[in-house]
Structure 1
Amino acid sequence: MAPLKKSGGFELDCPCMSVSEAGTLKPRSFAFPLSWVILATCSLNQWALDFSGNLERILDSIRIAKEKGATLRVGPELEITGYGCFDHFLEGDTYLHSWEMIASILSSPETDDILLDIGMPVMHKTVKYNCRIVVLNRKILLIRPKMFLANDGNYRELRYFTPWVKERQVENYYLPRMIQEITGQKTVPFGDAVISAKDTCVGCETCEELFTPQSPHIGMGLDGVEIFTNSSGSHHELRKLNTRIDLIKEATQKLGGVYLYANQQGCDGDRLYYDGCALIAVNGQIVAQGSQFSLQDVEVVTATIDIEDVRAFRARTASRGIQASKSEAYTRIEADIALSRPSLDADIRIAPDAPRPATYHTPEEEIALGPACWMWDYLRRSKTGGFFLPLSGGIDSCATATIVASMCRLVVRAAEEGNQQVILDARRIANQGEDYIPKDPREFANHLFHTCYMGTENSSQETRDRAKKLAEVIGSYHTDLNMDAVVSSIHTLFSYITGKTPKYKVHGGSQTENLALQNIQARLRMVLAYLFAQLLPWCRDKPGSLLVLGSANVDESLRGYLTKYDCSSADINPIGAISKTDLKRFIAYAEKAFDMPILADFLNATPTAELEPITADYVQSDEVDMGMTYNELSIFGRLRKVSQCGPFSMFSKLVHEWGGTLTPTEVAAKVKRFFFYYSINRHKLTTLTPSYHAESYSPDDNRFDLRPFLYNAAWTWQFKRIDRAAEALEANDKKKQ
């Protein structure tokens, strides 16, 4: 090319070259090479059917992404509606309002010059789909329906949606008139396609599609897609994040590519807590990670990526090229945007984000953070004035109270960081003025947390003292009462009506009498708990009422070791899906992490319901009452639910696992005892307090655990089969001796 003159020449249209003062060509001095892109993914605290609030949070995330220089923004699954709408996904209103929100997004200048991946339900040809809406410059480029639906555990997507089964096929979708008027489009592509930008190619996955064996990203990657988005509604379980991160890394470990993971965050209306932790991975390595537990409603994670790294990574493996050459092509939807935008003003020393180790919380930290965030969302969105907890002096109610303390610590920390939404919610809940900012967890707890020790003649001074000291350390508004007069009046009423006076077992009564007398106390505590929850704010000149907290752990629920409609019956239960073993570890952690030495006293105490009289030779013990230890219950629970074992297969596994210390007959007795009590108490689980879901063997009825509640508790054939196997094994052992 001939040298260009400073005047009278022609305009050079080349992003890599410029014209010098002398009129000659020279390379542009870009801060970012042409292969560098800034990508954004996010965690949003969406709320089911909160369309206006969800829209505001989506627009906030787009604004933040653009401020950080991102040219692609990915949001969580079904972010327009919130993931947990359940049967509301069957209602036409949900789809109408979703399009109204998309209309608002398309009308906003915030959506200009950035590629957006947005989640919402869409009805196509009268079939309902879980979709991604890909938007650029006030146009819809593609509606991509989910192909593999989550339909196990907590998920019932096949109840609401249909999977898209036409691989690599696209149809015309006729847009609603309100959208046509904004975009000028009558139809848009609907189906399994990818987005072709000027400089790279982008493909969408949705949540379960990462977890399924034949993930779409495999085919897309072989067809040249370099950036994969995954929009998720993935809930928290203890120790689950490791699995999720491993899958995200593996998605591009062999394939190569950039993987952007977005997730819902917070309690969007049910038992689940979506734990955020947005991630960006490149070629199997994490380069950016968001927080897993946060009180922020909007969190945007960005990373600077060099797309050439993906191309170089893929070029190293010849077999990948052979497979890619045979790959069936996807329909490519053209996007008039280059995701790599060189900036003349940026610092030349800025480099792509380097790989970094993934961040994990210990299970103890997860218990401290997850239920606390869930409770804060529930409290602020239910418009109530705080919590009420029957504080027994035992480790379960202690753990619940400590989680409330953790919540207060998180609120104070968020307020210190200037989180205005948290400050506004804290002012309303604490019933304080416009200048109030929570600065001390104990002071804040005193506004909203109410505890009560409900003692009887069967209660010990030790548990009463522990409850009082714990309340003082946490800062709760604590009350202490003896309910003997209330219990006695019920005894008197029964004796007056029937002429019979029941006795405790230690006083010569039968098992039936003993159990009934215990249950009277437990059920009266529930009645008193709701009375105090409604009237204590009134006593303190505060508006509203309190949410009653339950404190039955997952092992007790599984065994049915609780009284139906006792003080385990409550509004919500933060520990209802956490094992006693994990709760003890959490208390040991919190003793030091929260500087609460009183917690050591709870760890060393023998678990007891304190519903029977204490004598010189008898103190009630939970594990003795249950006929099994809490550790054994955890094992039974995982085998029953996770490993899907019936009585015989559970025996078959445990006879090997416990064979070193127990005979086959002893193992058989333990298994049969568990299934007997599980069966006769299964009906109690139909009335369990809604609990924070944290454990893979939660017995939560009709939600996570779909099993009947009326059993033949004799398990006639199954138990005989166990007995025959145990006898045969012991006979064989005798022969070897």
Structure 2
Amino acid sequence: MTSFNPSLGALGMLRLGVASPELRVADVAFNLERILAIAHEARGKGCRLLLLPELCLTGYTCGDLFFQPLLVEQARAALERIAEFTAREPLVLVVGAPVLQGDRLFNCAVLIAGGRIRGVVPKTFLPNTQEFYEQRWFAPAGEASADHLNWGGESIPFGADLLFQAERLPQCVVGIEICEDAWVANPPSGQLAVSGATVLLNLSASPELLGKQEYRRALVQAQSARCLAAYAYASAGPGESSTDLVFSGHSLIAEYGMVLAETDRFDFESQLALADVDLQRLGNERLKNNSFAESRPARSCRTLSFPLPDTPAQPLLRPIPAMPFVPPDDRERSGRCREIFALQTTGLAKRLRHTGAKQVVIGISGGLDSTLALLVTAKAFDKLGLARQGICAVTMPGFGTTARTRGNAERLAELLGVSLRVISIDPAVRQHFADIGHDEAVHDITYENSQARERTQILMDIANQVQGLVIGTGDLSELALGWCTYNGDHMSMYGVNSGVPKTLVRYLVSWCAEAEFSGEASAILRDICATPVSPELLPPDENGEIGQVTEDHIGPYLLHDFFLFHVVRLQYPPVKIFHFARQAFAGSYGDEEILHWLKNFYRRFFSQQFKRSCLPDGPKVGSVVLSPRGDWRMPSDASAALWLAQLEELETSR
């Protein structure tokens, strides 16, 4: 398996770079030298498309020196030198330079690849206020006299309507705008995106001001999200500073609203940031988004091809979080937990208001899921001003119940002030075994599921007694794997946890222990968080401890939640998920283990869809949803053969 090392292109990805090279205003030779040096460094790190700042060959702050023909001629000669560089090096460069067409000078971006200048894009919007005087020197794109340039006997496409498509990576379509273009009400990048651009580039020389860094980052993030695109922004560094202006060299790369990489600011040395952008993901997002598809470009674009070299994908230069549902930052995670808890409690409160129910029934086991459901229910009752005694918490000890989980469940119910019933299911299940002729010594699926269904029957019948609703406790991860008993814990009248993955449930309960509860209740919640996940349907071990650990049977929820996110949210193929998982879990799980549980995930995910096709209602809390009435529509009898075959091929290729 160690030989598995696909290229980025095979994964539908591109290694993109932004650079803020060291610069001297009006010193073209020096600037060219620094550009080639940073380009050489970027190429050595696997970068295949490098974006440089606005007017980086001359400097942005040249002022009336732009009227000097020598400066413009030297910039053009430098572009030829860069073209020669790309003939030798597997790298595409987008460079800022002043370009003369007829008797007008334009502030341009020049895309250079494979030894040739492939196209020149002039700036559309020229700022002419406060510290900016661009209209003094440059003409806007709309004043171009032709759609091409004649340089050295070659006709070079010229205009703001250019798109550049990679020859061997058709998902890579480059659209270019320049600095101010991004700050206007209707940026050109929006039209470029709906015309097909997946990689948006902005060459900038943006002077620094107090607070502008955050604003700039938010602008780039928002535009990448709005355009369902990667957005790279390369800005001039401190060497550009002159007279009253200071430049910081803040360059960054964002993808669909997430910043992947950015440079340090205020460093006179050349700065470089690289990231692997996921073009396949962007294509998937656009495919699902009919509003994006229905956005019509105001004008047609010319599409030009360019050669784009490939690069190995190991290691990936992008964050691959092992827990995609759980933010790594404590403050962000706390905020996320608060939001989810509010969604859950509000959803349940609405159901109670609508039905007029003042009583609910919930089965509690001392495990994570039922604990979270109980806490949500208690807070929903508080929100509606209902007495918590209307919550009938039922603990139903059976063959696998341990003293630890039962004790935690019962004591927590007492501390929360809810009604508590303790009903042993042993006699009823034994009677059922006798009725159907099942040997109690045979601990098979019948042995386990008979207990789950007996518990559900008790809950439903008590709900009829008290004229209340049964609150479901199952979580999103269990639904994905089908780890629930059909018409057992699978069924309820409102499933408050159905949108919450297992890896996040533990953090939610832990957050409740810190933020919503205190004292002994908080201590019990922390102990519940430390308890192994188990349905407790098999007898305890000789020490009275849990004898059935869920993850020993179906695999680590850490892996399964990772798989779930990438299968459902990102629509990745198995090979790509495997490659991402190798990086995310390096040092924790080996290749064989990841592959084993990934195959198990696909088998279970496909075979258990029938359980998801008839789910009770439950609140949508995130972007991964398996409700058949919402974001997920899948036939109950679809075959997993296509996906498993790719994994089998991967396994045999070792």
TM-score, normalised via structure 2 length: 0.47
TM-score, scaled to structure 1:
0.42
